[in-house]
Chain A
Amino acid sequence: MLSLCLYFHVHQPYRIKRYRVFDVGTDHEYFNDGSETDLNNERVLRKVAMKSYIPANETLLYLLYNHPEFRFAFSFSGVFLSQLEKQFPDVLQSFQDLVKTGRVELLADTYHHSLAFFHSIPEFERQVRQHRWIVSRLFGQTPTVFRNTELSYNNSLAKWAEKNGYMGIMAEGWDPILGWRSPNFVYHPKDCKNIRLLLKNYRLSDDVAFRFGQRSWAGWPMTAPKYVQWINAHHGNGQTVNLFMDYETFGEHQWEDTGIFHFLAELPREFLKHPDNSFKTPTETICDYEPVGEIDVPQTLTWADTERDLSAWTGNNIQQAALREIYALEKDILATKDLRLIEDWRRLQTSDHFYYMCTKYFSDGDVHKYFNPYDTPYDAYIAFMNALYDIKLRVQNKLIHTNVPLSAQSPVPTI
């Protein structure tokens, strides 16, 4: 028996426009860039929907109709869903059509695609709750398996997820953590009894997500039969192959002309040719297999870069300072009870903002591999800090009028 557990992650942030010092105090719209650049959120979403979401959804719907055995999972960020709902309801509808088949599982996540777990657990919990509401409202489903932003994971997150009733949680199947063990089994996290851990098979996942269209890669050109052969090689030494990837892999990271949609369309038929093969959603995988061991992850693990840590988001001084400042506002922001203000503050917590401030790729000479809608990481930081400055002023105005004492933790600047 060998099953395939597919999960696609779908996310688009609210990118901050080139918000300048002159805008502070006068313009409270941080995310409404109208330019012909990749800071224009609506423009980016339209582009990615056309290139990726719409054709990929069509392909998946076709597969669900034609292969009763086919199933998979999505994780949506709340900020993605809210943008779709507002600007592209028909695209949202096409996702809803997929979920309606009853064979698409939705995963739990933070609404704002944030790193809140590492900075404020109460705030993290509020965002997870907010995410549960929107998923339930739009899809009528309540997630039972948790995945955190950028697949970040450690023992204490697993503990949290277990305590909060999740059946399963996901992490990167990274060799230094696994040692001699294989990612192709179900495990349980360290010191956890009830929750199960699913580990991403990063080699097979990245063959599709990163290498599919790479002509310099030995595996090129990749076809469904060839790929299924690689999967089938795990018969006898694995039970589940967990393929986790960004949904934008289809059509956006790998363009249509690489044949990626054709590959996706062929994959289930090819895979199901083997009589012992099947598709399982994450929850089914967890229910159908016994855990074979315990995985200990004391340090935070992510699915990013060769370091598989948080350094792309927290590696330099400006990233750390920006994170510190935004979470220092928590108490005062919540005291305002101003939902609009609180939502703006949460949108600034989205991990992408900190990723755009990353400078570690400079030394790799690898700058071009890394996507940034800003000219430089410093431009990203300046736009972020100016927006945060405006948020601080709004908090100040609000709290002065409500006579709530300002917290000493978040000193508010004066202009």
Chain B
Amino acid sequence: MRVLMFGWEFPPHNSGGLGVACEGLARALVDKSVELVFVLPKKISLANDRLRFLFAHTAGTNKIYGIDVALTPYVTAKEYLLSKRYLEGNIYGADLFSEVMRYAKSVRDLIEHETFDVIHAHDWLSFLAGVEAKRISGKPLIVHVHATGFDQAGGNLPDERVYAIEKIGFDAADRIITVSRYTKDMLISKYGVSSEKIFVVHNGIDSSMYTYKQESNEFPWKRAGQKMVLFVGRLTMHKGPDYFLRAARRVLDFCPDTMFVIAGSGDMEFQIIRQAAELGIAQNVFFAGFARGENLRRLYESADLYVLPSVSEPFGIAPLEALASGTPVLISKQSGVSEVLSHALKVDFWDIDEMANKIVAVLRYPPLTRQLALYGNGEVRGITWEKAAEKCIALYNDMKVVHNNS
């Protein structure tokens, strides 16, 4: 089985879950002897590239192509324009959308020299490239939805050009993978996609990269005996950091010795800092900035509770990382990850009182904290990329058979 995959940069280059998901899935697929022709929208450096390292040890004839376009995951049209000036020597497209088109056109040369059975494209920025590859090669196309325009818009209507490209991808695709039933339902209700075409493949996690926490006194508030409640995520509307703060305000009435730590940056950063001051809880809120790698791991391990208050979360890998580190989680019901976790507290993102009630319960009742951490950790060990890869492979085989018979 040979798959042409339009993927994304692997960590640590990326700034979000899409790169992590692409790496996890690609690695598991290669481990299961799927050959990948991996295309990513970035000129890859020859030295020290994690991709090359990943594929180097495998026997298959995996290939990597980096295409020089200025696309990064999670970019919105507005962010794109803002970020343009930071991109050195970038004189490519006039805007994000012409870049997406340019990406699509550039696959033509590439696939002329390649053979593959199935095309697999991750998220809307690569959909047009996938559609183009299908048009030229006639091979079946699978589009993989990690987030939709609606998720990015945080409750507002999505950019209509994004919506249009997504629609093209969904219509042209032979099969659609969504990372949750939550996202599947969104495709059905907001995009009019028929249910039979959509398959849910939940993300996984490599739990071996995390260690179950020891008692940690690394942070000053921990040394002072305070409890720590953690938010990790971009500070944008759809991640719900404002709900987190409003719940914190309620919690502090009952558990004043609590530090609420916010790790992340984004367009709502100043608004959130101001909100903390307005709520009168600035001394109990710590802004840790954007964290990854070892810093992020230390935050997970030190926290008494991780909270995911997302307004709309197609999946949400961070709660799995927290649990893999031995930290219990409280997650929004409006998230895909709530479909795979039983040993987690769950709440509607808008229900501030219930969110506060549950945070207080974790801080007050140690048996609850211990059980959520221990059982949740056990549960996360069963949520693997291997399982996700098996589902994808079943879909590939299915497609190949259908394609060969037609």
| Inter-chain contacts of A382 with B (CB < 8 A) | 357-358, 361, 365, 368
**A356 vs chain B, min Cβ distance (A):** 14
Q: Are A21 and B346 in contact (CB under 8 A)?
A: no
In the complex, which residues of chain B have a beta carbon less than 8 angstroms from the beta carbon of A322?
367
Residue of A nearest to B357 (CB): A20
- Residue numbers in A under 8 Å from B354 (CB-CB): 20
23 contacts between A and B (CB under 8 A): A20-B354, A20-B357, A21-B254, A21-B360, A21-B361, A22-B353, A22-B357, A316-B371, A317-B367, A317-B374, A318-B367, A322-B367, A359-B375, A378-B343, A378-B368, A381-B361, A382-B357, A382-B358, A382-B368, A385-B365, A386-B357, A386-B361, A415-B254
Question: Is A50's CB within 8 Å of the partner chain B?
Answer: no
Residues of B within 8 A of A376 (CB): 342, 345-346
Q: Are A385 and B342 in contact (CB under 8 A)?
A: no
Chain A contacts of B370 at CB under 8 A?
317
Interface assignment of B372: CB less than 8 Å from any CB of chain A: yes
Chain B, range 343-389, C-beta contacts under 8 Å to A: 343, 345-346, 353-354, 356-358, 360-361, 364-365, 367-368, 370-372, 374-375
Are B367 and A321 neighbours in the complex by a CB distance under 8 Å?
A: yes
In the complex, given contacts A20-B354, A378-B372, what are 11 additional A-B residue pairs having Cβ atoms less than 8 angstroms apart?
A: A21-B357, A22-B357, A317-B367, A321-B367, A359-B343, A359-B375, A362-B343, A376-B346, A378-B368, A382-B357, A413-B364
Q: Are B342 and A362 in contact (CB under 8 A)?
A: yes
Contacts of B371 in A (CB 8 A): 316-318, 359
Residues of A within 8 A of B357 (CB): 20-22, 382, 386
Known A317-B367, A376-B346: A385·B361 in contact at CB below 8 Å: yes
B interface residues, Cβ below 8 angstroms from A: 254, 342-343, 345-346, 353-354, 356-358, 360-361, 364-365, 367-368, 370-372, 374-375
B79 to chain A, nearest CB (A): 37
Asked whether any CB of chain B lies closer than 8 Å to the CB of A375, the reply is yes
Q: Report yes or no: B353 in contact with A375, Cβ–Cβ below 8 A.
A: no
Interface code A365-408, partner B: CB below 8 Å = 1, 0 otherwise? 00100000001101001100110010000000000000000000
- If over half of B's interface residues share one DSSP class (helix, strand or loop), that class is named, otherwise mixed; here it is helix
B391 nearest CB across to chain A (Å) = 17
Question: Would you give the shortest CB distance from B232 to chain A, in whole angstroms?
Answer: 22
Q: Show the binding face of A for B, using Cβ within 8 Å.
A: 20-22, 316-318, 320-322, 359, 362, 367, 375-376, 378, 381-382, 385-386, 389, 413, 415
Interface core residue of A20, A318, A359, A382 (most chain B CB under 10 Å): A382
* Residue of B whose beta carbon sits closest to that of A19: B357
Return chain A residues, CB-CB under 8 Å to B367.
317-318, 320-322
Cα-based distance from A386 to B368 in the complex (angstroms): 12
Question: Which listed residue (A21, A375, A385) contacts B356, Cβ 8 A?
Answer: A21
Bound state CA distance, A21 and B361, in angstroms?
A: 8
B349 to chain A, nearest CB (A): 15
- Chain B residues with CB below 8 A from A385, complex form: 361, 364-365, 368
Q: Are B342 and A359 in contact (CB under 8 A)?
A: yes
Please give, as numbers and ranges, the residues of chain B lying within 8 Å of A317 by CB-CB distance.
367, 370-371, 374
B253, chain A: closest CB distance, angstroms: 9
Name the residue of chain A whose CB is nearest to the CB of B367. Answer: A321
**For residue B330, which residue of chain A has the nearest CB?**
A378
Give A37 Cβ to nearest chain B Cβ, in Å.
14
Measured in the bound complex, the distance between the Cα atoms of B370 and A23 in whole Å is 25
Q: Which chain B residue lies CB-closest to A413?
A: B364
Please report the C-alpha to C-alpha distance between residue A318 and residue B328 in the assembled complex, in whole angstroms.
14
Q: Which of chain B's residues has its CB closest to A389's CB?
A: B364
A178 → B minimal CB distance (Å): 35
A348 CB to closest chain B CB (Å) equals 15
- Per the bound structure, the CA–CA distance linking A376 and B370 in Å amounts to 17
CA distance A385 to B346 in the complex (A): 17
Q: Which residues of B contact A378 (CB under 8 A)?
A: 343, 345, 368, 372
Contacts of A316 in B (CB 8 A): 371, 375
Shortest distance between the CB of B340 and any CB in chain A (Å): 12
Q: Within the assembled complex, what's the spacing in Å between the Cα atoms of A413 and B343?
A: 27
Contacting pair B368 A381 (CB below 8 A)? yes
B368: chain A residues at CB < 8 Å are 318, 378, 381-382, 385
Expressed in whole angstroms, the Cα–Cα distance for A359 and B368 within the complex equals 12
Q: Which residues of B contact A381 (CB under 8 A)?
A: 361, 365, 368
Across-interface contacts of A413 in B (CB, < 8 A)? 364
> When A and B form their complex, which 8 residue pairs have the shortest distance between CB atoms, in order from nearest?
A321-B367, A20-B357, A317-B371, A382-B361, A362-B342, A21-B360, A21-B357, A385-B365
Residues of chain A with a CB closer than 8 A to B360's CB: 21
Q: Give the chain A neighbours of B342 by CB distance below 8 A.
A: 359, 362, 367, 376
Q: Chain A residues near B346: list those with CB within 8 A.
A: 375-376
Partner among B345, B353, B365, B374 whose Cβ is within 8 Å of the Cβ of A20: B353
Shortest CB-to-CB span from B128 to chain A, Å, is 40
Which B residues are in CB contact (< 8 Å) with A362?
342-343
Return B187 CB to nearest CB of chain A, in Å. 26
A382 to B346: give the CA distance in the assembly, Å. 12
Name the A residues within 8 Å of B358 (CB-CB): 382
